Amino acid sequence: MDRPTTEHSTAVAQDAPSERLGLFGGSFNPIHNGHLAIARAVRERMKLSRILFIPTGDPPHKQNQSLAPAPVRFEMVRLAIADTPVFTVSPIEVHRTGKSYSIDTVREIRGQCGRSCQLFFIIGLDAFLEFPTWRAPDEILKMCHFVVVPRPGRSFTTLAEIPLFKNQDPEPLGQLDVGIIDRVEIMIPEALGITCLSIPPCPISASEIRRRVRNGRPLVNMLPLSVESYILQHSLYQEDRNRTRI
């Protein structure tokens, strides 16, 4: 092998930018246009290489009639992102048996993508308020930069109530809520940090979609057409039509 060529190739590999990978987990029951809009906005605002959708698995020892089986939800995500190369889907949690914790998922993805890959954990504000109760939250913060996005009925100022934000000035969070600023960067000791993003609110909810399917109402502009067709073809979310809430 030509020695100068080998050295040049090594230099190129070392200088290559590391991947900035967004982790977007959820039940996606079903995935809808709101999820896709969030993924597009976060990718653009955070300059991410791609977004990895991670559908949750089936809850162990728990029957939830409103939750479509994990392989079905995985397939709906696959259909929804099929035309977007920068969106991919992982079966990590779908294939996992027993209880599934985010720390296990992050560790596994870290092992797959290597140390040079930068991980960005995309999470709704409502879920992030529960973050201190997760398994090994400090370790997750060391492995991922968190990106917190708005949720209906929640304000960013509520973050001041959790221990992670006890030393933070709440004023920027209030400015984020009213649109004076569009992002707040939070530095956490011995962690990769947290970005709170103001993005357009999403009026679509998975529960409303399931209600509409059950009641035979239209789903215009709520779902990718491929996902809507899949739901109707497989008669999903039509069980127990007498229930008013799932």
Return the pLDDT at 62: 56
Return the pLDDT at 153: 84
CA distance 53 to 108: 14
Which homologous superfamily is 17-204 in? HUPs (3.40.50.620)
Return the pLDDT at 37: 96
Return the pLDDT at 63: 62
Return the pLDDT at 41: 97
Span of 89-93, 155-159, 160-164, 238-242 with lowest mean pLDDT: 238-242
Instruction: Encode pLDDT of 1-11 as tens digits.
Output: 343 333 333 33
Q: pLDDT at residue 244 above 60? A: no
Strand 183-186 to 50-55 pairing? unpaired
Domain ranges of the chain: 17-204
- The arithmetic mean of pLDDT across residues 146-156, rounded, is 92
Return the pLDDT at 67: 93
Q: pLDDT at residue 246 above 50? A: no
Sheet holding 183-186, edge to edge: 87-89, 50-55, 20-26, 118-124, 144-149, 194-197, 183-186
Instruction: Encode pLDDT of 38-55 as tens digits.
Output: 999 999 999 999 999 999
